[in-house]
Amino acid sequence: MTKRLLFILSVLIFLIASHNTNAQIIKGEAFLGLNMSQVDGDEVVGFKKFGFYGGLGAIVPIYKKNNFTFEGCIEVVFNQKGSHQRQQYIDNGDGKTGEYDLFMNYAEVPVMLYFTDKQVTSFGLGFSYGRLVGLREYEHGVRTNVTVNSGEYNPNDYSILAEVKLRLYERLKLGVRYQYSLAKIRTRDFTYIDDSYTWTRDQYNNLFTVRLIWVFNENRDEFFREEYRFDGDPKFHRKAIERKLKKLRKKEAREERRENMNN
């Protein structure tokens, strides 16, 4: 799995760094973000687990017409998921406090399709394959014997993705992504605190990600909406032209005053 991820990462770096004619249409991206996650089915409620999200991606244009574009994107991501619950009970000597923490590190390869309107707002849907590469679990403040290789957790996580991206400034974008597991990551038996009864639940990763994205190899013309350019319908930029002419007149007036003073 590690070799596969390194190969995909190498391909992405090559696509981003390449400067030949054919590669100019391919855009690269680097991103950093914050996860807010929970595990559905672990009896802990709320997106209270914060984690790191970061990686690289390559964007390939598929279709463009007027102000609308359709693009595909493949990424290599380091993704931290998990679950968190503070102490719920007073420790009466039995060590049971209700405190719970789950740390899961995934290496993932998301594949996304994006629809972009006027180079400003993008909407995306996709699929991701993740491999569990790190795991720590704490119950009642004590670390358990559960590890990546102990068998409790499925090492593979298949997820669906949805995202909205907004251009903040030129090549800088803000993305809000939602991710949910398609297959269970664990089946677990639970016992009530007084050992009166037990039950079984399947568990799934569930998380939101807020990330900042920097895009490479993007033409400057793509930063601006069509109505802000000076080659379309004049009614959209008459005011911009007037402002430009006003600045030129002021500059000419200043130069004329300097010449008069020198004479």
Q: What is the pLDDT of residues 192-201, one digit of tens each?
A: 766 777 888 8
Q: What pLDDT is attached to residue 80?
A: 97
Alpha-carbon dihedral of residues 87, 88, 89, 93, nearest 10 degrees?
Answer: -30
Q: What pLDDT is attached to residue 2?
A: 53
Where does the chain have alpha helices with state H?
A: 2-17, 238-262
At 251, give phi and psi (nearest 5°).
-65, -45
pLDDT in tens, 153-172: 999 999 999 999 999 988 89
Q: What pLDDT is attached to residue 91?
A: 67
Tell me the pLDDT band of 8, cut-offs 50, 70 and 90.
Answer: low
Averaged pLDDT for residues 204-209? 97
Q: What pLDDT is attached to residue 9?
A: 53
- Beta carbons within 8 Å of 109's beta carbon, 6+ residues apart: 5, 8, 74, 75, 76, 77, 128, 129, 130
Q: Where along the chain do its domains lie?
A: 2-223, 230-263
- Beta carbons within 8 Å of 54's beta carbon, 6+ residues apart: 31, 32, 33, 77, 78
Residue pair 155/124 in contact by the 8 Å Cβ criterion: no
Query: Is pLDDT above 50 for 144?
Result: yes
Residue pair 133/157 in contact by the 8 Å Cβ criterion: no
Residue with tokens 């803000």: 174
CA pseudo-torsion sign 154, 158, 162, 165: positive
Assigned CATH topology for domain 2-223: Porin (2.40.160)
Q: What pLDDT is attached to residue 233?
A: 53
Between residues 184 and 96, which one has the greater pLDDT?
Answer: 184
For residues 114 and 216, give the distance between their C-alpha atoms in angstroms, rounded to a whole number: 17
For residues 87 and 71, give the distance between their C-alpha atoms in angstroms, rounded to a whole number: 46
The radius of gyration of the chain from alpha carbons, rounded to an integer in Å, stands at 26
For residues 16 and 28, give the distance between their C-alpha atoms in angstroms, rounded to a whole number: 5
- Alpha carbon 212 to its chain's center: 7
Residue with tokens 């597991």: 181
Q: What pLDDT is attached to residue 106?
A: 97
- Beta carbons within 8 Å of 22's beta carbon, 6+ residues apart: none
pLDDT in tens, 35-89: 999 999 888 889 999 999 999 999 999 888 888 889 999 999 999 999 998 887 7
Provide the 3-class DSSP secondary structure of residue 238: helix
Q: What pLDDT is attached to residue 19?
A: 45
Tell me the pLDDT band of 138, cut-offs 50, 70 and 90.
Answer: very high
The distance between the two most distant Cα atoms of the chain, rounded to a whole number of Å, is 102
Averaged pLDDT for residues 209-214? 97
AA identity, residue 77: V
Averaged pLDDT for residues 101-106? 95
CA within 13 Å, CB half, 153? 26
**What residues pair up with 81 in beta bridges, in sequence order?**
104
